Structure 1
Amino acid sequence: MASTDQPVDELVAEAVGRVLAAPAGGLEFVVDGAASGLAASVERWPAVSRALLAFAERSVGRCWAAGWRPADLVRVARRELGPVQVALAVDLIAAESRRHPAAALDRRWREQLRELEAEQWWPSDEAFLGEFASRHRLDRFALATAALELLRVWALLPPVTPVGSVPGQSAPRAGAPRADEPRMLGRIRALLAKAESTDFPDEAEALTAKAQELMARHSIDEALLSASGGPSADDPGAIRIGVDNPYEGPKTMLLDAVAAANRCRVVWAKEFGFCTVIGFDADLDAVELLYTSLLVQATAAMHRAGSRKHKDGAARTKAFRQSFLVAYAARIRERLADATERATEDAAAGRPVHGEDGGADGVRLPAPGGGLLPVLAARAEAVEDAVGRMFPKLVSQRVRVSDGEGWVEGRAAADRASLHRGSGRIER
């Protein structure tokens, strides 16, 4: 039992320690007792707020050192807990981020913080818990409970393979993305946003096809720039992309199709709800953008098809939707492979790489003396080597199709989707 004279820092550390040591069977009882100790005194609540933020900053820093990144920690909170803990996770990440100047964060790290809206909004650390409780209509006990549950989940995370530099440390040799988003990505992002917002399928297809064309050409430009000794990232890197239930298997197949078309590889960590994509920087950007857009299209098409009845009048089932998405991913793989092959043939033949501007940023890039194909082959080998170093033990996993009608409709929907591009397998 905590004494009223006990320093608040010790009180917080003791409460979290008890929760971490609790067996799963008696966890609820231990959490209740620890939360009661933290929330017992309204007078000490501001001091608890300051101490809890300080403790959480250290906990988050340990997660960074273990290979986790901001979006990962929020995804874990969403999968394991509830909306209050998700909001709290964002704020605790924002609190830890105050320790690092922007220059100490790589581009994708900064993008994740921006997308999460992880920034300090509370006036002081002493006021944080009180302000958070007001925002979310919580009493002290409920908030202390949520904080302890979140810190326990984060503390029990195992180390994962890093996919970038840790704030404040030098970037690793492989996978250091450029400091700023390439200009081409802005154009691609705008095209995909228009494709997702339009009510006209033909317009969406044309916009997405144009975006895919720019992605393929940008990737080739980056390969040539690197081969010619230009200022391009010359080692493969990696990113993580969340893949959540339902239908996580078919969604991973779709991601793998997009990744393979962009000369990347995918490794699925099913237990954590994410995939690691390994490839060169420009290709990783393309994968993330196109997968997100195609997933929106696939989900919308699945819901439209699922709202109808089977030919025998029965309601469509989970098996139908699973088969629909598997077929959609398989057909997208074929279409993307064709588009990538065409773009590569055009570039190898010396036809213009960027129809409007020439090469990267308006500069036409000639192929090196040995030609484009050896450059691309060398990059593919580098990606394979990176996969082997990062994940020395991998197994393949099959995804079953159990509804023929779902398969047919999924392929038809993929034919109506917007794109162009490889082939690969899901690995874990």
Structure 2
Amino acid sequence: MGREGGHAKLRGVRDLAGTVDRAFAAALYAQDDTGLDTGASLLVAESERWAAVGRELLGRGEAYVRQAWERGWQPADVLRLVRRDLEERHLRIAGDVIAAEARRYARLPERWTEAEAWWGEDGSYAERLAQRERTDRFTLATAFLEVFRLLIRLPSIEPVGPLPGDPADALAEHAHIEPRMLGRIRALLAKAEATTYPEEAEALSAKAQELMARHTVDEALLAAAGGGKGPAQVPGACRIGVEPPYEEAKAVLLDAVATANRCRAVWNGGFEFSTVVGFESDLEAVELLYTSLLVQGTAAMTRAEAAQRAGGRKRTKTFRQSFLLAYASRLGRRLAETVQAAEREVSGTAEHLPALVARDVAVTSRAEEMFPRTTMTRLRGASDHAGWEDGTAAADAAHVGGRRPPLPR
């Protein structure tokens, strides 16, 4: 009797797996959306085993996201595309699948998005999901299929770090910005973003940039002298989201920040990110400064628009595009000047310091190895004169350097 019951249970599992296979075949590989309804209907027909369906979907999803990681993607990249192409419900479901897959590993790589399997046992996931989303099973099944369809269509891209579970990752060592200094930099930039007094913000951000530049010089000198502990440091890479609107101007700003901090940035407009190549502590500096300057630039643009409206002029998308392009272009020169001055103050010979030159060569070589076929992109023109002038003025007032006079226009 027990044996017969076991056979019946096994047949039930196989039947359910076959149903899911048919649903996936109908929905995931069709060129149009017709198969989505068919696939979702097949899943919903298993109403008596809906908990098992939820568990099966999680398991299939884990395999799909692992495949995405093996193709070079990371959680933040996938979630960015889901947010762009689908809806908030899909974004939450994608996060659930990523969290389920992450349970496999005792340790996740650096910059890997942390996620929590909030639902407890997988057998309760379907019920908990319905409670969270407050919608019907057909809608949930369709959303799962749409997320999976996006995952299986992801192409291979250049990896920027180890896969989860890679034993080599546990042995890797990275020279991060010292925690106390990192805390100071973050606090300075946060105050610079929050204050409404330009002179105060300039002083705060100037100090943050000085700390970043000093750390780069100190690290380069230490490595050149052979004083580093553990294996030699090598350039790494990270991805930073560059999302609409005005993604071209944002990519220019990120490139300027990366170049000033001895990194290289390669923009992928189709997938809405830039890959930044550099030493780990410099990558951290780029992430912090780019985020802060983008916040400052957006706030300045909003104030400039308000002033234009108060003067009776209607602002447009071209104003905002021109503003941010001017802001990014001007900041590129200001950042280079600021960093050179800070390095010269530390070393006395910043432009010819062999340790820094060796660092630049290593980063350039790594970037060319990762991206041997990059192309130049022609940006849309800045056609609004007022936007360009206001953006240039905002860059001159941006808080990245000392109290030197603005560059000639």
In structure 1, the residue corresponding to 2:47 is in which secondary structure?
coil
SS in 1 for 2:244: coil
1:46 and 2:51 matched: yes
Decide whether the 8 Å contact of 2:209 with 2:339 is kept in 1.
no
1:97 to 98, 102, 107: 102
Q: Could you tell me which residue of structure 2 aligns to residue 178 of structure 1?
A: 174
- The partner residue of 1:200 within 175, 182, 197 is 197
Contact kept in structure 1, 2:212 and 2:285, CA below 8 Å: yes
Question: 2:374 maps to what in 1?
Answer: 394
Helix, strand or coil for the counterpart of 2:308? coil
* Deviation of the 1:280 alpha carbon: 0.9
| Cα RMSD for the two superposed structures | 2.5
Alignment partner, residue 340 of structure 2: 341
- 1:377 is matched by which residue type in structure 2? V
Q: Over alpha carbons, which structure has the higher Rg? A: 2
Cα displacement string for residues 317-342 of structure 1 (whole angstroms, at most 9, x for unaligned residues):
11111110011011111111111111
Distance 2:173 2:156 in 1: 22
Partner Cα separation in structure 1 for residue 333 and residue 310 of structure 2: 28
For 2:97 and 2:178, the matched residues in 1 are separated by 30
Note if contact 1:133-1:139 (Cα within 8 Å) is conserved in structure 2.
yes
Report the Cα distance in structure 2 between the residues aligned to 1:270 and 1:63, rounded to whole angstroms.
19
Partner of 1:426: none
Q: Any conservation in 1 of the 2:62–2:101 contact (CA below 8 Å)?
A: yes
Checking the alignment, whether the CA contact within 8 Å between 1:107 and 1:177 is kept in structure 2 is: no
SS of residue matched to 2:274: strand
The residue number in structure 1 matching 2:251 is: 252
- CA apart distance, 1:50: 0.8
Contact 1:106 1:179 (8 Å CA) reproduced: no
SS in structure 1 at match of 2:240: strand
Residues 1:180 and 1:57: Cα distance change in structure 2 (over 3 Å): farther
Is the alpha carbon distance of 1:120 and 1:372 closer, same or farther for their aligned partners in structure 2, counting shifts above 3 Å?
farther
Alpha-carbon distance in 2 for matches of 1:74, 1:200: 36
Equivalent residue number for residue 284 of structure 2: 285
Structure 1, gaps ≥5 residues long: 351-366, 422-428
SS at match of 1:167: coil
Task: Normalising by structure 1, report the TM-score.
Answer: 0.85
> In the alignment, which of 159, 164, 187 is matched to residue 167 of structure 1?
164
Task: Summarize the Cα distance change of 1:403–1:311 in structure 2 as closer, same or farther, 3 Å threshold.
Answer: farther
Q: 1:200 to 1:311 in 2, by over 3 A?
A: closer
Give matches, 1:53-64, under 5 Å.
Answer: 53-64=58-69
Structure 2 unaligned regions, length at least 5:
1-10, 403-409
The correspondence for 1:135, drawn from 132, 136, 140, is 132
Q: Distance in 2 between matches of 1:303 and 1:292?
A: 17
Q: Indicate how the Cα distance of structure 1 residues 22 and 312 shifts in structure 2: closer, same or farther if over 3 A, else same.
A: same
Does the CA contact (< 8 Å) of 1:39 and 1:140 recur in 2? yes
Cα distance in 1 for residues equivalent to 2:13 and 2:371:
50
Task: Indicate how the Cα distance of structure 1 residues 384 and 319 shifts in structure 2: closer, same or farther if over 3 A, else same.
Answer: same
> Size of the alignment, in residue pairs?
388
**Match of 1:271, SS?**
coil
Distance 2:373 2:195 in 1: 44
Secondary structure in 2 aligned to 1:56? helix
Q: TM-score, normalised by structure 2?
A: 0.89
Letter in 2 for 1:279: G
Distance 1:182 1:38, change over 3 A: farther
